[in-house]
Chains A and B, each alone.
Chain A
């Protein structure tokens, strides 16, 4: 009794029921062929086959009936009519084969399809369900999505971070691959930003929550990926329109051919191949897998349309600051002046300048030349009053052993430099123009040196103490090390024009372009001028991808055929507006994104070709009389499997 109950409850579960029906129907077919072989009994053979057709067919008929009840015809209805007709005209084996294969195909396809949905499931599972919240020294466990902004969350080593937030205390390394696709763990200490779904590896940290549940970056990514996978690509829309007419067309053809030839089996065979299976699945399967795989590598593609566009890119426009460069200026060289007083003939003394350039990379630890220390000391003191980006570059290089005094007085000359007083001596830090205006004598050789540095993309900050030029500090925003490799990769993958767009000065831009291997440079651009360049490229017939950091490049990103935003983790604007958002700021993900798009586009074309060729061959075969019901269904199901398996290859690129 209990076994029977278990069996019955098992039968209400759709996948178990399908499996049971498949096994019964399959054994009946085998039994049928066995009796045919050993006994040569037509009666037994037919009984077994009708039995098999009924077992598998009832499940199909049930769905057909449900469709009819809800007033729409479906594929199951066509198969039911074909199988019933088959039994009626006495082709029992064909009827059994059609129903069995249809059921088997559906089951196999669902199993394989669910694999393509794995990536998404993995992402959803990345978010832990609960968080340990610290309140007045007491701990309490809360569902992760109920954590409020500002709560303090304890994250133990080895556990997943439940919310987006800022590290309050503790240090650790965090595996952020779920968000950025970057496999090397990132070091985190107090003040660092952490994301829900990333894995805290070795230290215990306290995190001040900023976002939880559906607002976290991870949830945004999942939402984005899902929307992208549902977004229909132009090819898919075309195919779906075609499929809409395909099924009624085949039914019409079946009726017509019956009226024409009075051949019922031919008409029924046409019904069997009327399911547009491979065709309707051809595009979605590639897109789900392509977008899913990209998401796993930290590349968010907005949808099928963008994927198709990105697959045909012929020109790439790049922003300089923050994209090709690190966006963080650093000291590159010190220009030091040594003065020796030389007694000249007529009793006048004049200074003989000796110029030396010390690369910043030569300076290590405590072994800093005295002149460099002087430069850093006075420039550091002046810049400590400033919030200019260059000030940060200088201050971060001041050795901790130097105790910078507070200046007694300071004025900032916007765009030029800073003037401070310390113990009644005047210190000037700023551009050549600024120091000249303040009547500081700058020698020709020094000016030449600065010009030479400018050609290499350096901005030099001059330092004067007590109305005397001490020297200069050359600063540059260094290029990302992988920039030239990335440019080469783009060229190799068929992008024939690479253009740099920047608001920066020509000298600096040219220097970076040369280093990266870019020939076309547009410097001194305002955001809307960047836009114009993109339009010009499009006018020249190029498919343009614009790569920027998402916020100040927004108009150009929107104007391009594909807007790619870098370093999007934590910036919702970039995730939401860019066509392709790269979660990390690793440059090599750009060619990777274009490669995935290209391969996915090719995969879509292959799948559509497989589907169309199968349909054409089946139709021809049926009319030539060489394809019957069972074979028709088999080929049809095989083509669906072929399309799914071809699409799944995109998981491993």
Chain B
């Protein structure tokens, strides 16, 4: 399994508890090995296997937890 790191950014984080919501949703997703959400900057770092879970799928998972996000280059 090859993992890549994808950076997402969200402007929807309003309270640090959102961090737990998104992190646990991502971590429960198959193909994600590690997800880290930074509250202050709204940066979401996801280490995942692109074969199992695509970047768009990651966005969908974040959306399902109730937050809008987009993919960022750095």
Interface residues of A (CB under 8 A from B): 12-15, 18, 59, 62-63, 66-67, 69-72, 74-76, 106-107, 109-110, 113-114, 117, 120, 124, 145, 213-214, 219, 222-223, 226, 229-230, 240, 275, 277, 280-281, 284, 287-288, 640
> Is B14's CB under 8 angstroms from A106's CB?
yes
Interface mask (B14-46 → A, CB under 8 Å = 1, otherwise 0): 111100110011011000000000111111000
> Is B66's CB under 8 angstroms from A63's CB?
yes
Contacts of B42 in A (CB 8 A): 114, 117
Given A117-B42, A229-B41, A287-B40, residue A66 in contact with residue B21 (CB < 8 A): yes
> Is B12's CB under 8 angstroms from A74's CB?
no
Contacts of B68 in A (CB 8 A): 13-15
> Is B15's CB under 8 angstroms from A109's CB?
yes
Given A63-B65, A72-B20, residue A113 in contact with residue B25 (CB < 8 A): no
Which of B14, B25, B27, B43 is A66 in contact with, Cβ under 8 Å? B25
Contacts of B27 in A (CB 8 A): 70
> Is A110's CB under 8 angstroms from B12's CB?
yes
> Is A226's CB under 8 angstroms from B43's CB?
yes
In the assembled complex, how far is the CB of residue B35 from the closest CB belonging to chain A, in whole angstroms? 11
> Is A14's CB under 8 angstroms from B21's CB?
no
Given A14-B68, A222-B74, residue A281 in contact with residue B11 (CB < 8 A): no
What is the bound-complex CA distance between A124 and B68, given in angstroms?
19
Contacts of B39 in A (CB 8 A): 284
Q: Which residue of A lies closest to B12 (CB)?
A: A110
Q: Which residue of A lies closest to B24 (CB)?
A: A70
Given A13-B63, A124-B74, A284-B40, residue A67 in contact with residue B21 (CB < 8 A): yes
B72 contacts chain A at the CB level, 8 A cutoff: yes
Q: Which residue of B lies closest to A232 (CB)?
A: B40
What is the bound-complex CA distance between A288 and B1, given in angstroms?
37
> Is A277's CB under 8 angstroms from B21's CB?
no
Which of B25, B28, B40 is A288 in contact with, Cβ under 8 Å? B40
What is the bound-complex CA distance between A393 and B63, given in angstroms?
63
> Is A110's CB under 8 angstroms from B11's CB?
yes
> Is B17's CB under 8 angstroms from A75's CB?
yes
In the assembled complex, how far is the CB of residue B60 from the closest CB belonging to chain A, in whole angstroms? 9
Dominant SS at the B interface?
A: loop
- 16 sampled A-B residue pairs with Cβ under 8 A: A12-B63, A14-B66, A18-B66, A63-B21, A67-B24, A72-B20, A74-B17, A113-B11, A114-B42, A124-B72, A145-B73, A213-B74, A214-B74, A219-B74, A226-B43, A280-B15
Known: A70-B24, A75-B15, A284-B39. 9 other contacts (CB 8 A): A14-B66, A74-B20, A106-B14, A113-B13, A114-B42, A145-B73, A214-B74, A277-B15, A287-B40
What is the bound-complex CA distance between A120 and B72, given in angstroms?
13
> Is A106's CB under 8 angstroms from B40's CB?
no
Contacts of A117 in B (CB 8 A): 11, 41-42
Which of B25, B38, B72 is A230 in contact with, Cβ under 8 Å? B38
- Count, A-B residue pairs, CB within 8 A: 90
What is the bound-complex CA distance between A471 and B6, given in angstroms?
69
In the assembled complex, how far is the CB of residue A302 from the closest CB belonging to chain B, in whole angstroms? 14
Which 5 residue pairs spanning A and B have beta carbons closest together? A70-B24, A114-B11, A109-B14, A110-B14, A229-B40
Contacts of B21 in A (CB 8 A): 63, 66-67, 74
Interface residues of B (CB under 8 A from A): 11-17, 20-21, 24-25, 27-28, 38-43, 63-68, 72-74
In the assembled complex, how far is the CB of residue A122 from the closest CB belonging to chain B, in whole angstroms? 13
> Is A281's CB under 8 angstroms from B74's CB?
no
What is the bound-complex CA distance between A66 and B29, given in angstroms?
13
> Is A67's CB under 8 angstroms from B20's CB?
yes
> Is B12's CB under 8 angstroms from A15's CB?
yes
> Is B63's CB under 8 angstroms from A72's CB?
no
Contacts of B72 in A (CB 8 A): 124
Contacts of A640 in B (CB 8 A): 15
Contacts of A284 in B (CB 8 A): 16, 39-40
Contacts of A113 in B (CB 8 A): 11, 13-14
Contacts of B20 in A (CB 8 A): 67, 72, 74
What is the bound-complex CA distance between A106 and B15, given in angstroms?
8
Given A70-B28, A117-B42, residue A14 in contact with residue B16 (CB < 8 A): no
What is the bound-complex CA distance between A313 and B38, given in angstroms?
29
> Is A70's CB under 8 angstroms from B17's CB?
no
Contacts of A15 in B (CB 8 A): 12, 68
Residue with the greatest number of chain B CB neighbours at <10 A, chosen from A14, A18, A74, A284: A14
Q: Which residue of B lies closest to A71 (CB)?
A: B24
Q: Which residue of A lies closest to B67 (CB)?
A: A14
What is the bound-complex CA distance between A213 and B16, given in angstroms?
31
Contacts of A277 in B (CB 8 A): 15
What is the bound-complex CA distance between A181 and B9, given in angstroms?
25
> Is A120's CB under 8 angstroms from B41's CB?
yes
What is the bound-complex CA distance between A284 and B38, given in angstroms?
11
Contacts of B38 in A (CB 8 A): 226, 230
